[in-house]
Structure 1
Amino acid sequence: MSFSKTRPLVLVGAGKMGGAMLAGWIASGTDPETIAVIDPAPSSDLLALAGRKGFRLDTAMPAGTMAGVLLLALKPQMMAAALGALKPFVDADTLVISVAAGTPASVFEEAFDDAAVVRVMPNTPSQVGRGMSVAFANARTSEAQRETVDTLLAAIGASAWIESEEQMDAVTAVSGSGPAYVFFLTEALAAAGVKAGLPEELAMQIARQTVCGAGELMHRVETPASELRRNVTSPNGTTAAALDVLMAEDGLQPVMDAAVAAARKRSRELAG
């Protein structure tokens, strides 16, 4: 690991994503005494958690601290102001990790004198330990530091690596924004059920549980999604009739292609 009691894992920002990561680390057995959390306006829940678990919680970086790992879980618009203040607490051995969307690794390399930098795109299911995080490491990042990143991300779900930072926009469009697409699919399925004659509350209940159950099935088995789909589809049955619509030339695929392309384009725009 790249952090210890004397060179801690410093989490800057403990909002929804940072808080989810913190909870995952503690639940997975990371020594709280190796964790320092910096949050300018800590919530009552965060204060209570610090009291119970024993990690350090400050509103600003304590003088004399040198981070082993500096994990930045700040909103992109807050990042520029924070980097200058954090520079004295980073040296050549510090691993800098950012989960800020749209901020390229070069920003952190410039701010921290060509430090080892890993850029991570997590997603909101990380809040329940079922996230998908995709990481990009710059050339200064060692294999041991990559292993540290893998360990930290394992606490909130699955992870994968990309070797080209240009792919991060596509990652953002698929897994970063993807949960919203699934939530909207649930809304749309429930709305279709209402139009088919179901009470609104029942339609949402069965749509939501169907999506949750299908996701859990994919999680538990290694069967490809295409095969799972075929397993549900009897020839000339009800599912086949629905899929004739969804898989038509003007069905779901071109809509999803356009949605991902739009999200990827916007990710590039936000990155400048």
Structure 2
Amino acid sequence: MNSAARTPITFVGGGNMGAALVAGLLKAGWPASLITVVETSSERRAQLISFYPGITTSEKIGACTAGVIAVKPPAAAETCAALAQAGATRVLSIAAGIGLTTLQSAAGATAAVVRAMPNTPALVGEGAAAISGSSQCVLADMEWAESVLGSVGTVVRVDEKLLDAVTAISGSGPAYIFLVAEALISSAVGAGLSPEISDALVRQLLVGSAKLLQQSAETPAQLRANVTSPNGVTASAIQALEQAGIRSAIEATVQAALLRSREMGS
């Protein structure tokens, strides 16, 4: 993160995602003195100060130059307007389903709005997020948003019309992976392993496989082939998955998420 990006920033909402971004920025070198978190819960404000010494917390939005909307979707537009009125010239929203037209209209002509779709692995610094800027955004606004979200993972730019697809893949995707983990653990127990051993093996299986996929130059198909000897155990397992319709099931999963995301955004 370049030093120019380290400017004062106000987070509205100190929940899991807001706190994850604060932690990411601090780890990336953003001075704690430049970070303010607006949170209505006094108990949560005390927790945040304990977790992240040096930051400022407040019950209400005060004067600011840049803001991040990390509240529930129904409050996003109102929060966007409040940030703009408080002086923010850049606003990043991670509220699901609230479009740029709504947000930019709330902000008015004085603030550029960037909409983002992050995911929960941001909580451990391994998030995947996509961003889209309103017509009022310039390159510097997009780079600022990337610097914020990039502190907790990977960031890509897409047209806003593709954010529903992003939601269906990486936004909801962690739940798909966790469901696979549930099924594997259940199958391991059914095969005779203890719940504790089953859980440990499956967790490490997913972590190790993800790291291998991330660090390898080979495609997922190639990595799968590397493990699959002809007529071997893995080949039998893959054949069973294919016969059970795993590809069509995944496609149906993504389409269902895509449809619902579009419905919620309309």
Common fold by TM > 0.5: yes
Aligned to 2:28: 28
CA displacement at 1:198 relative to structure 2:
2.4
Paired with 1:30 and 1:86, the residues of 2 have a C-alpha distance of 21
1:29-52 per-residue CA deviation (whole Å, 9 max, x = no partner) reads 0122222211111513202235x2
Secondary structure of the corresponding residue to residue 37 of structure 1? strand
Contact residue 39 and residue 59 of structure 1 kept, 8 A? yes
Query: Alignment RMSD, CA only?
Result: 1.7
1:88-123 per-residue CA deviation (whole Å, 9 max, x = no partner) reads 1145xx111100110101111110114311111110
CA displacement at 1:85 relative to structure 2:
3.5
Contact residue 20 and residue 156 of structure 1 kept, 8 A? yes
Aligned to 1:175: 170
TM-score, with length taken from structure 2: 0.92
Aligned to 1:261: 255
CA displacement at 1:21 relative to structure 2:
0.2
Residue 86 (str. 1) matches residue 88 (str. 2):
no
Aligned to 1:147: 143
Q: Which amino acid aligns with 1:179?
A: P
Paired with 1:234 and 1:76, the residues of 2 have a C-alpha distance of 49
User: Which of 229, 232, 235 lines up with 2:227 in the alignment?
Assistant: 232
Q: Which amino acid aligns with 2:254?
A: V
Identity, % of aligned positions: 35
Paired with 1:155 and 1:84, the residues of 2 have a C-alpha distance of 26
User: Which of 251, 255, 263 lines up with 2:245 in the alignment?
Assistant: 251
Aligned to 1:72: 69
Q: Which amino acid aligns with 1:210?
A: L
Which structure is higher in helix share?
A: 2
CA displacement at 1:192 relative to structure 2:
1.5
Paired with 1:61 and 1:82, the residues of 2 have a C-alpha distance of 9
Secondary structure of the corresponding residue to residue 17 of structure 2? helix
Q: How does 1:81-120 map to 2 (within 5 A)?
A: 81-90=78-87, 94-114=89-109, 115-120=111-116
Secondary structure of the corresponding residue to residue 139 of structure 1? coil
CA displacement at 1:84 relative to structure 2:
4.3
Paired with 1:100 and 1:202, the residues of 2 have a C-alpha distance of 38
CA displacement at 1:220 relative to structure 2:
2.3
User: Which of 156, 160, 163 lines up with 2:152 in the alignment?
Assistant: 156
Structure 1: 5+ residue runs without aligned partners? none
CA displacement at 1:80 relative to structure 2:
4.1
Number of corresponding residues? 260
Paired with 1:13 and 1:119, the residues of 2 have a C-alpha distance of 16
1:106-165 per-residue CA deviation (whole Å, 9 max, x = no partner) reads 111110114311111110110111000111112221111211122112210111110x21
Cα distance 1:213–1:228, how it changes in 2: closer, same or farther (>3 A)? Answer: same
Paired with 1:228 and 1:16, the residues of 2 have a C-alpha distance of 34
CA displacement at 1:199 relative to structure 2:
2.5
More deviation, 202-211/131-140: 202-211
Contact residue 2 and residue 145 of structure 1 kept, 8 A? no
Q: Which amino acid aligns with 2:205?
A: T
Paired with 1:36 and 1:261, the residues of 2 have a C-alpha distance of 39
1:151-196 per-residue CA deviation (whole Å, 9 max, x = no partner) reads 112210111110x211111100110010011011011011122222
Paired with 2:197 and 2:31, the residues of 1 have a C-alpha distance of 45
Secondary structure of the corresponding residue to residue 263 of structure 1? helix
Aligned to 2:210: 215
